[in-house]
A and B are shown apart, each in its own frame.
Chain A
């Protein structure tokens, strides 16, 4: 049975690697032709790539925040979640870096961020913090999977990990705050510019991260991934309930504050996502993505079913993704200056030779954005890369000898060698 599951894991690894390579191929095409292959334009200058970036940064939190907190606040049961939490964190942050890389127009110049002397840009802070986050994540991976630590006692390893956790927890919180500030500090975008952005990003990050752990626990149920056994999953589910409530509360606070006065640009944006174009996303997010998982997780018998728990994990992840769309796109759609004829889109439409063709002008008063197939494929490639790294990491975790076992082995070896002597 277990052997079967391992083969399945391998097959999926190949599938995801293939998808990631397809995405890479399309990315090469984007490098050659420029970002015209995407649906973005001068009015909506960030699209699916940045939405996915924000989503992946969020996903990487859940496991790391939970497992680091477990070590810092000494919650014994949850300490075992740490290896899978770290693997998810590292995989997602690599995916997030990839999404940033595909989004920028001249990726070969990305190191200009390092060498510039200005420090006011949230993107720059994000670059440094994500770099630090990745390094700490890899260091913690090394503690778990490195050969050097195999023979150390469990106490010593835990002590070292606890020390790393003291750094990684604030860095994890900082990564989300700064990602939120990329949007929240823009005074020019009234819908983004509010103080609740960072708390909302952190709360929904934990929600989606926990959702991913629950999903992994269901998909890998036959592998018995350490840390994701029945009791731990139930604890994680309970934490998830709390964070869903926190997330809904913060989201409500934001929308209510922006909408209450009425007549302002943020209120217009709230109307857009409550009843306008984005309403289907919002209501799907709240009803199917938040309330349905709550119903499942509150039900004691449902909470025991790994399939239902995995399903609620998937649903909250979907909800957080839709939420990222609902935060980022309305910020662009509500403009400070919306007089006719609007803004030039930057996208040249080949003329058919007729005068006054509908839709053939480079100007647009109402911003609109729809991702192209090309953009979707690159994004799917990025997500597949994440899935591939997670599956690879799961393999490492499975191979990871429990320290007690290793100690026993060593003791046995010593006994054997002394007997031989």
Chain B
């Protein structure tokens, strides 16, 4: 069976610290204004004034780090007119910055809104012009006018290293590996936790799985008995 790299994100472990997002931005030299990875929380557009409510009705924030899902049936790959976006042998959805014409059809096609566009010449503070990368020097720099997104750190995973967000996660909420190998860590974890990808119903076959938080049913605190009655 062909290789298909996949990731499991444990929502039970994630503490929403944004470390992965910041590390991703640094390692990949993502320009100001763009983020390949973002940490969504429950609650909706009105989250400033509506409390995030957990499964037992008590206030509870659950975090959902969201980046490219590396779908097996990717709508962006189908939509790309130049073949700049394609699936490589590892099952990664790759973006070829040299072929991309910047038509942004892939951005319209992506159901997860994870693709970002270089609206201007990419700008970093401090600037990395003199080859002085803070992040991974193997990551190619991008010109203005091309689309970019999470690559599962393809420069690292191609030589057997783990993506930056996996290694740098302080609570080990991410598991990475080949989903087509039933004995890999990620396959086991997906089976174990009944993890599901996002928007499965669209048929894009995403390869980022989210393990739900374990149910912790708290009893409502009786009057005057302290936090949750404990």
Using a CB–CB cutoff of 8 Å, the interface residues on chain A facing chain B are 33-36, 38, 40-43, 45-46, 100, 103-107, 109-110, 112-113, 116-118, 120-124, 127, 182-183, 186-189, 331-332, 335-349, 362-363, 365-366
Contacts and interface: CB of A to CB of B under 8 A. Distances in A.
A337 B112 contact: yes
7 contacts: A45-B108, A105-B146, A123-B105, A336-B113, A348-B31, A362-B34, A366-B45
B80 interface: yes
B72 interface: no
Given A45-B107, A112-B82, A346-B119, A104 B102 contact: yes
Contact of B202 (A33, A187, A332, A344): A187
A33 B108 contact: no
B195 to A, nearest CB: 17
B116 A344 contact: yes
Contacts of B118: 34, 105, 346
B141 to A, nearest CB: 15
Given A33-B120, A123-B105, A188 B111 contact: yes
Instruction: Tell me the dominant secondary structure on chain B's binding face.
Output: loop
Given A187-B203, A337-B113, A124 B81 contact: yes
A188 B64 contact: no
A34 B120 contact: yes
Given A105-B104, A106-B102, 7 more contacts: A123-B79, A336-B202, A337-B199, A339-B41, A341-B40, A343-B113, A346-B33
Interface residues of B, number: 58
B119 A186 contact: no
Interface centre among A45, A337, A347, A349 (most CB of B within 10 A): A45
Contacts of A103: 103-104
B170 to A, nearest CB: 20
Contacts of A100: 103
B75 A186 contact: yes
B169 interface: no
Interface string B94-109: 0000011111110111
A264 to B, nearest CB: 12
A365 B99 CA distance: 31
Given A105-B144, A188-B110, A344-B38, A116 B47 contact: no
Interface in B46-81: 47-48, 64, 66, 75, 77-81
B162 interface: no
B82 A116 contact: yes
A337 B40 contact: yes
B84 interface: yes
B135 interface: no
A163 B15 CA distance: 69
A340 B101 contact: no
